[in-house]
Amino acid sequence: MAEQPVVPQHVIDAFHMMWGPFPEVVMLLHKSRVILAVNDVAHAAGVPLGVRCSSLNPENKTDGHCRQCRALEALRSGGPLEAFSVAGGKRMKAYWLPLKEAPDVYVHFGVSIGREIDAALAEAGCA
């Protein structure tokens, strides 16, 4: 297990209040990529706390970072970033959202892109 960063409890509580019922996996992460908290869907799927998120992705590089990760870029800019990716054979739109009150912490999640939306994006030249 990775070293657990210290984050104020009110940050963890706010995460659960806002993201708990979200219908996709959502993680609260430290810049070291250690998972600090997960929403209800992630918990039900068995996503563990205290490990690096890259350990959950079997396709990650041997350096321990996912190829598509934009966490550090989002933290440096202080603003949200998004990207299209493929996870578990599904197309996703992934987001990295830095927290203003906790500059070393961010929310990360992806939203599944259904076949209809995927086809419309491809037709529009956006995917």
Res. 89: pLDDT tops 70: yes
Tell me if 2 is assigned to some domain: no
pLDDT (0 to 100) of residue 97: 97
Res. 9: pLDDT tops 90: yes
Res. 59: pLDDT tops 60: yes
At 90, give phi and psi (nearest 5°). Answer: -110, 140
pLDDT (0 to 100) of residue 39: 98
pTM: 0.84
Res. 61: pLDDT tops 60: no
Tell me if 3 is assigned to some domain: no
Residues 21-43: what's their mean pLDDT? 96
Res. 63: pLDDT tops 70: no
Strand partners, 84: 93
User: What's the CATH number where 77 sits?
Assistant: 3.30.450.20
Supply the range of the domain harboring residue 37: 9-124
Tell me if 50 is assigned to some domain: yes
Tell me if 1 is assigned to some domain: no
Assigned token pair, 37 = 């908290």
Residues 10-17: what's their mean pLDDT? 97
Q: How many CB atoms lie within 10 A of CB 98?
A: 21
Tell me if 118 is assigned to some domain: yes
Distance CA 47, CA 44 (A): 8
| Better-scored residue on pLDDT, 110 or 66 | 110
Kind and range of the H or E run holding 109: strand 105-112
Tell me if 40 is assigned to some domain: yes
pLDDT (0 to 100) of residue 127: 60
Assigned token pair, 119 = 């086809």
Distance of CA 86 to the CA centre of its chain: 13
Q: How many domains does the chain have?
A: 1
Tell me if 110 is assigned to some domain: yes
Tell me if 4 is assigned to some domain: no
